[in-house]
Amino acid sequence: MSHFAEIPETTVLLLPGWLNSGAQHWQCLWAQKHGAVLIDQHDWVTPRRGDWVAAFETQLLDLHTRTRRSEKSAPRFAVAAHSLGCHLLAAWLAHSAHADWINAALLVAPPDLNRDDLPPAVARWAPAIETPFPRALQARSRVVGSDNDPFSSELATRALAMRWGVEATLKPNAGHLNADSGLGDWPEGWQQLQQLIDRERVKYGH
């Protein structure tokens, strides 16, 4: 018999980065294989942070309305963000009244916005929002980077994770952790996200 109370069902949301995620990207494969929900943006080519934050908020509210079991049910969402999508989540958490709806976050390959060699569309998001994540979410979040990411150094990735207040892990020779990295549907990443979601059991345990 389980020693834990029933945990509300969690919907996994996918936040792509600049130019969106292609058909062979692990995010698109997660949507197909696991039923995760891809968050859409009106403009993937010249992203504006405020527009992306507003679009995420709007879609989140719509998803809550469509998926909640009752008027009193608490919304539970987990986020798997890639690249600029990580900075989107950080900006949204810093300003949204619904930050407590997110119960886990996997932040993959966030670019270092302080670099001078970033594509202009990405560099325009500087400076990065470095507000610490909500305390409860910090324990259920992880930054996953690579030691040879062309958009961030290992040092910058760890420093950003520290400012957000979350743990960081670095994969060897994984590039930008996208389709070009040969991850396929990246079962390791999906498992890591599930482990972060499972940490919610501490809250519901008895």
Question: What secondary structure letter does DSSP report for 134?
Answer: P
Tell me which residue of 32, 50, 31 sits closest to 41, measured CA to CA.
Answer: 50
What pLDDT score was predicted for residue 206? 37
Helix, strand, coil content of the chain in percent (nearest 5):
40, 15, 45
Closest CA relative to residue 176, chosen from 35, 34, 18:
18
Considering the chain, what is the average pLDDT of its residues? Answer: 92
Question: With 80 as the cut, is the pLDDT of residue 69 above it?
Answer: no
Across residues 103-107, what is the average pLDDT? Answer: 97
Distance CA 57, CA 129 (A): 17
Mean of the pLDDT values across residues 89-109? 97
Residue 127 has pLDDT above 60, yes or no: yes
Q: What is the DSSP track for 77-125?
A: EEEEEETHHHHHHHHHHHH-TTGGGEEEEEEE----TT-SSS-HHHHTT
Please check the confidence at residue 71 and state whether its pLDDT lies above 70.
no
pLDDT for 65 beyond 90: no
**Mean pLDDT confidence for 108-116:** 97
User: Quick one: average pLDDT of 182-192?
Assistant: 98
Token pair recorded at residue 73? 């049910």
Beta bridge partner(s), residue 12: 78
pLDDT value of residue 39: 98
Residue 204 CB-half CA count within 13 A: 14
Higher pLDDT, 68 or 37: 37
Alpha helices in 131-170 (DSSP H): 135-138, 154-164
User: What confidence score (pLDDT) does residue 6 get?
Assistant: 44
Report helix, strand or coil for 159.
helix
Phi and psi at residue 108, to the nearest 5°: -110, 120
Cα–Cα dist 179/172, whole Å: 16
Tokens 């990207």, residue?
A: 25
- Cβ 74 vs Cβ 5: under 8 Å: no
Q: Give me the helices (H) in 12-95, please.
A: 26-34, 49-67, 84-95
Instruction: Assess whether pLDDT exceeds 60 at residue 19.
Output: yes
The radius of gyration of the chain from alpha carbons, rounded to an integer in Å, stands at 16
Q: What is the pLDDT of residue 173?
A: 97
Which pLDDT does position 202 carry in this prediction? 54
Query: What percentage of the chain has pLDDT greater than the value 70?
Result: 90
* pLDDT at residue 9 in the model: 83
pLDDT in tens, 152-181: 999 999 999 999 999 999 999 999 999 999
> Which residue is it, tokens 């996200």?
193
Of the two residues 200 and 26, the one the predictor is more confident about is 26
